[in-house]
Amino acid sequence: MTKKGIGVWIFSTLTVIAAAHLIDAANALLFNKPITLLQLYPLTKEKLEAITPPIYFLISATATFILWGITCAIAFQNPVEAFLNKVLSDAKKQSMVESQLLEQKSELLDAMNETVEMNNEILSHVKDVIYNIRAEVKEIQLSRKAWKRLRLSSAT
């Protein structure tokens, strides 16, 4: 938070200075007054005196708007929004991990389901075989009883 405060303070100060130059340039351009603020910079005074009022106006207007934009970008950077974006990003990552885990578990469940279906088919086949065997056993028992009757009736 302190870096943000220092950044806002620095860029807002530079914006105010650029706005002061913009007002000076507008005075020079619209009212044909002399450029006064550029005389405050002694080291580059000769070069700065060569600047015409329209160019001075354009440069100071551009600098003012750029610095104001930077100040606003820093000032309106919301820490709550950044926190929420981080939470949402983490939630997406967690969701992807859970999705992969669920997919792996799904593959395991599919394999188990196939095994159960195969066992069900085998059990059904075994039931059919047992039913057939019981039917044949009953048939043999009936034949045996008939055979015993025949033996008993032929013996008498």
Task: Give the pLDDT confidence score for residue 41 in this predicted structure.
Answer: 84
pTM exceeds 0.85: no
pLDDT, mean of each 10-residue run, the chain (156 residues): 85 96 94 88 82 94 96 82 83 86 85 90 92 90 82 72
**Structural contact between residues 20 and 86, judged by C-beta atoms closer than 8 angstroms:** no
Dihedral class, residue 33 (left if φ above 0, else alpha if ψ from -120 to 50, else beta): beta
Domain ranges in the chain? 2-77, 85-156
Task: Give the pLDDT confidence score for residue 26 in this predicted structure.
Answer: 95
**Structural contact between residues 93 and 86, judged by C-beta atoms closer than 8 angstroms:** no
Task: Give the pLDDT confidence score for residue 81 in this predicted structure.
Answer: 77
Task: Give the pLDDT confidence score for residue 156 in this predicted structure.
Answer: 63
Count Cβ atoms below 10 Å from residue 60 Cβ, excluding itself: 22
